[in-house]
Amino acid sequence: DLLPQQKKEMVILDIYVPEVRVDLMYAGNNNIYGERLYDSKLAFLRRGTAEKLRKAQEEFALQGYTLKIWDAYRPPEVQFKLWQAMPDARFVINPHQGYSLHSRGVALDVTLLDKNGNELLMPTGFDNFTTLADRDYKDIEETEAANARLLEEIMAKHGFRSIFYEWWHFIDQE
């Protein structure tokens, strides 16, 4: 087991959990802000969170799936830019009131890939701030709902909790 201080050390996710696929949405222009926000395409998480993610990925792999990471550690200055683009606390934590859990290295945004590397059908794409992205699943097709439930079930089993408004967002319960 990791010592408490080791759990808080930041690690490069695709080195620590090489089985996942990293595609940081904020390292490109296709995001809510409309421009590149990250200088690097490396994803970082706290070691303890990455360890939980490794266990979740192992279980997904048994079913033929791979986690795709859209966001992990987020620098505080990026949080301010996201708040400018979407000043709604249901979706973006107000950086004027405290740090996002992304900025602490314990939150991440993910989806699932099939064995051919294709994204599974999910309720929406990334950064969709409509009711289609929430977890009630009444307004989407059953395939998308079942895939999102599978993602949530396995992530929760390995120590992550979710939020209602974003099916892709998970937080390490530490």
Is 166 catalytic? The answer is: yes
The angle formed by the CA atoms of residues 3, 153 and 150, to the nearest 5 degrees, is 130
Q: Which of 19, 35, 119, 166 is catalytic?
A: 166
Structure tokens at 154: 């396995």
Q: Give me the amino acid identity at 155.
A: M
Question: Terminus-to-terminus CA distance in the chain, angstroms?
Answer: 14
For residues 169 and 148, is the Cβ–Cβ distance under 8 A? no
Task: Show which residues are catalytic.
Answer: 166
